[in-house]
Structure 1
Amino acid sequence: MASVKLYVYDLSNGMARQLSRQLTGRQIDGIWHTSVVVFGKEIFYGQGIDITAPGRSHHGQPMQIIDMGETALDEETFDEYIQEMRQHYTADKYHLLEFNCNSFTDDCVGFLTGGNIPSFIKDLPTDFLSTPFGAALRPTIDAMYRRPAAGAAPSQAAPSAPAATNQQLAASILQAVASQAQTGAGRPAQAVQPTQATNSLTAPMHIITNPATFNNFLKGHKAAVAFFTSETCPPCKMIEPVFERLAEEKGPHGGRSGAGFAKVDIDVGMGRNLASEWGIRATPTFMFFLGGKKVDELKGADQGELRTQIDLLLFQAFPPHPHTAISMPAIQALSMKSIIFSQVPPIDTVLSKLTASIDSSSTTAKEKIKSTLAKTVVPYLKSRFSPPNASAILPSAKPEMLTAWLQATVSSVDALPTGDLFPLVDMWRLAFLDPSVGTWTTQLILPGSGAPNPATLFLGKAAAANDAPAGDKGARNVLLTALRLLCNAFSSPTLARRLLQDARARGALTEVLVPSLLHADAPVRTAAASLAFNVAATVQVARVEAVRTGKGGREEDEDGEGAEEWRVEIVSALLEAVDREKASEEVVHRLVAALAFFLRLIPGYETQVKPLLEVLQSRDILKRKLTRGEGWDGEGGISKKDARKLVSEVAEKLCA
Structure 2
Amino acid sequence: MDVQLLVYDLSQGLARQMSMGFLGFQLDAIYHTSIELNGREYVYDGGILAIQPYSSHLGHPFEKVPLGTTTRTIAAIEVHLDTLRPRFTAAAYDLFRHNCNTFTDTFSHFLVGHGIPAHITGMPDAVLATPMGRMLLPQLMQSGMTGGNRGANGGGSLLGLQETAQPATPIPAAPVANGRPSHLHHTLRLPSFSNVDATQPVLFGKVPPLDKLLSKLGDEVAAQPVVHDLRVYLEGKAANTKSVSTPDLASLGKFVRESVTTLPRATLFAAVDLFRCSLADARVSAFFAAEEVDHATVQSVVGVVNSEDVPYALRLVTLQMACNLFGAPAAAARSLLSDAILRAALVQLVSASFLDDAHVSARSAAASLLFNIAVTARKTKTPAQALPADDQVELAASVVEAIGQEQASAGALQGMLAALGHLVYEASLDGELADLLRVLDAAGVVASKARQFPEEPLIAEVGAELLGKGLLA
The two structures have a TM-score, normalised by structure 1, of 0.42
User: Alpha carbons of 1:329 and 1:436: their partners in 2 closer, same or farther (altered >3 Å)?
Assistant: closer
Query: How far did 1:440 drift?
Result: 1.4
- CA displacement, residues 119-175 of structure 1 (integer Å, 9 cap, x when unaligned): xxxxxxxxxxxxxxxxxxxxxxxxxxxxxxxxxxxxxxxxxxxxxxxxxxxxxxxxx
| Alignment counterpart, residue 208 of structure 2, candidates 328, 338, 345 | 345
Query: Structure 1 pair 515/451, CA: closer, same or farther in 2 (3 Å)?
Result: closer
Counterpart check, 1:526 vs 2:344? no
Q: Distance in 2 between matches of 1:337 and 1:420?
A: 32
| Aligned-partner Cα distance in 2 for 1:411–1:501 | 26
CA deviations 1:565-599 (Å, max 9, x no partner) are 11111111111111111221111111111111111
Query: How far apart, CA to CA, are the structure 2 residues paired with 1:648 and 1:589?
Result: 15
Letter in 1 for 2:267: D
In the TM superposition, 1:199-278 aligns within 5 A as: none
- After TM superposition, the structure 1 = structure 2 runs for residues 481-630 of structure 1, keeping only pairs within 5 Å, are 481-492=317-328, 493-520=330-357, 521-542=359-380, 546=381, 558-560=384-386, 563-602=388-427, 604-627=428-451
User: What percentage of aligned pairs have identical amino acids?
Assistant: 25
Say if 1:329 and 1:409 are closer, same or farther in 2 by CA, change over 3 A.
Answer: closer
Matched, 1:452 2:296: yes
For the pair 1:649 / 2:460, whether they are aligned, the reply is: no
Structure number with greater Rg is 1
Q: Are positions 1:384 and 2:237 aligned together?
A: yes
Paired position in structure 2 for 1:83: none
Matched, 1:439 2:282: no
Specify whether residues 418 and 641 from structure 1 end up closer, same or farther in structure 2 by C-alpha distance, changes over 3 A only: same
In the alignment, the residues of structure 1 paired with residue 227 and residue 190 of structure 2 have an alpha-carbon distance, to the nearest angstrom, of 51
SS at match of 2:368: helix
Structure 1 stretches lacking a partner, 5+ long: 1-313, 360-365, 469-474, 547-551, 628-633
Cα deviations across residues 153-207 of structure 1 (Å, max 9, x unaligned)?
xxxxxxxxxxxxxxxxxxxxxxxxxxxxxxxxxxxxxxxxxxxxxxxxxxxxxxx
CA distance in 2, matches of 1:442, 1:333: 24
Q: In the aligned structure 1, how far is the partner of 2:403 from the partner of 2:443?
A: 11
Tell me by how many angstroms 1:333 deviates.
7.0
CA contact (8 A) 2:360 2:408 kept: no
Provide the rounded CA distance (Å) in 2 between the counterparts of 1:611 and 1:442.
Answer: 33
Partner Cα separation in structure 2 for residue 480 and residue 451 of structure 1: 20
Residues 499-530 of structure 1, C-alpha deviation per residue, up to 9 Å, x if partnerless? 11110010111121101012121111111111
CA RMSD of aligned residues (A): 2.7
Q: What is the TM-score of this pair, normalised by structure 2?
A: 0.57
SS at match of 1:427: helix
Q: Would you say the 8 A contact 1:623–1:647 is kept in 2?
A: yes
**Contact 1:422/1:478 (8 A) holds in 2:** yes
Find the counterpart in structure 1 of residue 253 from structure 2.
Answer: 406
Structure 2 counterpart of 1:463 = 306
1:418 paired to 2:265: yes
- Give matches, 1:50-449, under 5 Å: 315=177, 320-332=182-194, 336-356=199-219, 359=220, 370-385=223-238, 387=239, 390=240, 392-397=241-246, 401-444=248-291, 449=293
Q: 1:609 to 1:513 in 2, by over 3 A?
A: closer
Alpha-carbon distance in structure 1 between the residues aligned to 2:190 and 2:282? 32
Amino acid paired to 1:354: L
Q: What's the secondary structure of 1:383's corresponding residue?
A: helix
Partner SS for 1:625: coil
User: Does the 8 Å CA contact 2:295/2:342 hold for their aligned counterparts?
Assistant: no
**Distance of aligned partners of 1:444 and 1:340 in 2 relative to their CA distance in 1, 3 Å threshold:** same
Task: Kindly state the Cα deviation for residue 382 of structure 1 after the two structures are TM-superposed.
Answer: 1.2
Q: Check 1:580–1:402 CA distance in 2 against 1; reply closer, same or farther (3 A cut).
A: same
Q: 1:344 aligns to what SS in structure 2?
A: coil
Per chain length, whose mean CA-contact separation is higher, i.e. which structure has more relative contact order (CA < 8 Å, sep 6+)?
2
Cα pair distance change 1:484/1:450, threshold 3 Å: closer
Would you say how many aligned residue pairs link Structure 1 and Structure 2?
A: 293
Note the C-alpha offset of 1:330: 4.3
- 1:221 counterpart residue number: none
Name the amino acid aligned to 2:237.
R
Q: Deviations over 1:429-488 (max 9, x none)?
A: 11011111122113345xxx36723x33310222245x35xxxxxx11000011111111
Per the TM alignment, residue 374 of structure 1 is displaced from its structure 2 partner at its CA by 4.1
